[in-house]
Amino acid sequence: MKFKSIPASLWALLLSVTAAGCCCPGASEICFSCTGAAGDCTVFGAVCNVDLGLCTPNNCAMSIARSPADGGPKPVNCRYVSQAVTTKVLACAGVYKPGGAAALCPASYHVCTAVDRFPAGLDAGCADPGLGGIYVADISTWHDPANITQGSCQQVASWLPGLSSCGTAVGAGANATAPTCSGWGRSVICSKTSNLSCPAANVASASNTDPQSGVLCCQ
């Protein structure tokens, strides 16, 4: 997404017609770009929001952040888990039914799969308490019901299905650190959560009823 620029003389007019007093709360707004250099945006009576790369009024609390890949804002329901050069990973929140998880990912992103390279630093992002829920990738895991520390990346008869994940699920024994499948070191045992189902250990069969949880989207 590319933001249009307008002459400085129109800045006051822009603010006067923007009810919330914020620049670029959505894709249709016109904004001034900035880099965070000294003096950026001061001519407009604003400050540079370096996360957005845009001039915003001092009282503007933005809930979107700029994607370095396309220069545009990501959806407000998503937050970065990793911005590694190899693979960018978003945690995108929302409820979904079987077959509907992919709709949570923004354009140019897809639900993370086993072919996505595990980014450096993802473990730290996955453990971020700010995620507020559990976010799954389309990477199957299977867990021994008698000992959930035992897991497999291949289906084992009578074992519990799970998915590689980031965040924290609600439910005793729901969060597992084994197995490590395709480099992803965390997983969730779906049947032990209060909101997630994945009977076939894949995202196509999964459903989620918690709006604070969702899917992992890769680019």
**Residue 12 in this model has a pLDDT that exceeds 90:** no
Q: Are residues 192 and 134 in the same domain?
A: yes
**Residue 145 in this model has a pLDDT that exceeds 90:** yes
pLDDT for the residue numbered 131: 85
Phi, psi of 204, deg, nearest 5: -60, -35
Q: Are residues 97 and 181 in the same domain?
A: yes
pLDDT band at 62 (very low <50, low <70, confident <90, very high): very low
**Residue 59 in this model has a pLDDT that exceeds 50:** no
pLDDT for the residue numbered 8: 38
- Summarize the confidence of residues 57-75 as an average pLDDT: 44
**Does residue 197 lie in a domain region?**
yes
Q: Are residues 112 and 177 in the same domain?
A: yes
Q: Are residues 171 and 208 in the same domain?
A: yes
**Does residue 104 lie in a domain region?**
yes
- Report the distance separating Cα 106 and Cα 23, nearest Å: 21
pLDDT for the residue numbered 178: 77
Domain that holds residue 42: 8-56
Q: Are residues 82 and 46 in the same domain?
A: no
- Report the distance separating Cα 165 and Cα 15, nearest Å: 42
pLDDT tens readout for residues 159-206: 999 999 999 898 888 998 878 888 888 899 999 999 999 999 999 999
- pTM exceeding the 0.85 threshold for the entire prediction: no
Q: Are residues 46 and 147 in the same domain?
A: no
Number of folded domains that form the chain: 2
pLDDT band at 103 (very low <50, low <70, confident <90, very high): very high
- Summarize the confidence of residues 45-72 as an average pLDDT: 50
**Residue 42 in this model has a pLDDT that exceeds 70:** no
Q: Are residues 108 and 203 in the same domain?
A: yes
Q: Is the pLDDT higher at 70 or at 100?
A: 100
pLDDT band at 94 (very low <50, low <70, confident <90, very high): very high
66 within 8 A of 51, measured Cβ to Cβ: yes
Instruction: Calculate what percentage of the chain has a pLDDT beyond 90.
Output: 38
Q: Is the dihedral of CA 202, 174, 196, 186 positive or negative?
A: negative
pLDDT for the residue numbered 123: 74
**Does residue 48 lie in a domain region?**
yes
Q: Which residue has the tokens 């009823």?
A: 209
CA terminus-to-terminus distance, the chain: 15
Q: Are residues 99 and 194 in the same domain?
A: yes
Q: Are residues 37 and 82 in the same domain?
A: no
Residue 5: burial class (beta carbons within 10 Å; 0-12, 13-18, 19+): exposed
Q: Are residues 25 and 132 in the same domain?
A: no
